[in-house]
Structure 1
């Protein structure tokens, strides 16, 4: 992977979609507390639509990448945090760490009308700093993630209409409870990755 993200953004650069219960700066970090039952999901298997997760978003044009770094103590089922790309209520991609099957999972949901979901266990990532990177080039979004300074892992390659007006940024949700606290330590942008590998 080449073209690392270069430019840190202030939290004030973003605009909230569904403001959280609290969002407070602690030094350079942003500590976000979720509302009860917050989530992003559309229909598949469960039959419901949820579009009330918390996301702080900035413009995400073709040719750009965005990184979100955070520490999340995910302890309840479906607690989650990471990066969200959003076009509208029926078109979005989220990726990050989520509690499922009793342990932290590195997951992604791609939604074009209905949602799909993929997971891989990352038990060693519990309570540690994680970075999710989303890169938009042509009709593709490449999602990568890493824990601390470990090597990047490719999470997903997903289609996104190159003509779509998208925004991206940090997100967090707690579908089964209130009060998940996530410490976001960095939001950064730069050029899209020049290759998949």
Structure 2
């Protein structure tokens, strides 16, 4: 399977963002203030107001989403890739600002959300690609930049066989005017092995 670029028009927004602007192959998206995805854990609230641009996702393909980090500078600014089975079962993986630095962040949700972070301060200002590939009953999530090779971020349960969707997402839980430039959305070959990096 060759890489296939998905047109931005292919997806459907879970919640319409404040604005979108397509400029050639890029899509600039401005999030609404207070937008987020989270269920219950620790904070006790249930939020599904984030913005995810979703298309059908088959087991025979990996999904990759690429975006620029230049606009990420305030607490909880976040964007990346959303894997979606339904309102109770989803995974968001990407970059989130926490402790004043970019973090590789993954939230795995099945009725309740968990949250993992891994600091990547040397990624400031770069272009980041998130990748998701299903294997057996799990999903392998990886991330890279042009200057840094693939890094395995998470192996998480995602056993759903049908009705899966995936695509770019962004959220702005606490501020006005957070804009993300997405530069790439593709399907490609799924991972061959957990310990073998996919091609760049």
**TM-score where L is the length of structure 1:** 0.94
Q: What is aligned with 1:186?
A: 184
Please say if 1:68 is aligned against 2:65. Answer: yes
Q: What is aligned with 1:157?
A: 155
Q: What is aligned with 1:196?
A: 194
Q: How far apart, in 2, do the equivalents of 1:147 and 1:160 lie?
A: 25
Say which structure is richer in strand.
1
Q: Which runs of 4+ in 1 moved over 4 A?
A: none
Q: How far apart, in 2, do the equivalents of 1:74 and 1:146 lie?
A: 17
Please say if 1:136 is aligned against 2:134. Answer: yes
Q: What is aligned with 1:79?
A: 77
Q: How far apart, in 2, do the equivalents of 1:149 and 1:63 lie?
A: 28
Contact 2:63 2:188 (C-alpha < 8 Å) held by counterparts: yes
Q: What is aligned with 1:13?
A: 10
Contact 2:13 2:52 (C-alpha < 8 Å) held by counterparts: yes
Identify unmatched segments of 5+ residues in structure 2.
196-200
Deviations 1:48-106 (A, max 9, x none): 01101001111112232100000132111111000000111110001110001111101
RMSD of aligned Cα (Å): 1.3
**TM-score where L is the length of structure 2:** 0.93
Number of paired residues?
Answer: 194
Identify unmatched segments of 5+ residues in structure 1.
none
